[in-house]
Amino acid sequence: MASTTTNDLKNGMTLELSDGLFQVQEFQHVKPGKGGAFVRTTLKNVRSGAVVDRTFRAGEKVERAFIEKREKQYLYRDGDGFAVMDTETFEQSVVPAATMGSAGNFVSEGASLTFLMFGDEVIGTDIPASVELEVTETEPGMQGDRVSGARKPATLQTGLVIQVPLFVNVGDRVKVDTRSSEYQTRA
């Protein structure tokens, strides 16, 4: 563990505190007219997702957690988890659906993912801003139905249902924004 001071905090930095693993969302150095300076932070619990506000004295030492990024390949859905294989060691493991979060809606079999690891524990995934997925089910577009901006529901290969324009058909590949789960364009 590397020790750092609260003066060196940055957004996205992960800290190992006495009550868990936290990622810095925001921080603000405050120097009041009277008294000592302090650092006001907003921290997100990496495991539970809870957001807390915490105040530290300026210069206070905190433990910085070492987060490793590891490349793994998604193999198949296994009950309440995702079976993945480490691309370096070829070791297989099951990542719980809760740990995958919304990333589980955007991964197809054979896709490569970057996992955030704290020791041997998977604490999150790093997915691209957009992915290409195939439409497996949707209503056919009617000839002459060209209303501007009209949408219809479409089920993608991962089971995710999104709203797409009327011209999108079964078998088409579409680009989906992973942050908002919205259709971007036909691929």
Give the tens place of pLDDT for each residue, 107-126.
Answer: 888 888 888 888 888 888 88
Provide the mean pLDDT of the chain: 87
For residue 51, the model assigns a pLDDT of 92
Domains of the chain: 2-64 (2.30.30.30), 68-126 (2.40.50.140), 130-186 (2.40.50.140)
pLDDT value at residue 59 = 87
Residue pointed to by tokens 């971007």: 184
Give the pLDDT mean for 152-161. 90
d(CA 162, CA 156): 8
Residue 35 has pLDDT above 90, yes or no: no
The angle at the Cα of 12, spanning 15 to 3, to the nearest 5 degrees, equals 30
Structure tokens at 43: 């921290």
Going by C-alpha positions, the residue among 53, 86, 81 that lies closest to residue 68 is 86
142: pLDDT confidence band, cut at 50, 70 and 90? Answer: low
Percent pLDDT > 90 in the chain is 21
Confidence band (pLDDT; 50, 70, 90) for 162? very high
Q: Assess whether pLDDT exceeds 70 at residue 65.
A: yes
Q: Which two tokens stand for residue 104?
A: 């589980």
**β-sheet with 2-5: strand ranges across:** 2-5, 61-64, 14-17, 20-30, 38-45, 51-57
pLDDT of residue 95: 87
Which pLDDT band holds residue 22 (cuts at 50, 70, 90)?
A: very high
Which residue, chain included where needed, has tokens 């691929």?
187
Q: Report residue 105 as tokens.
A: 């809606």
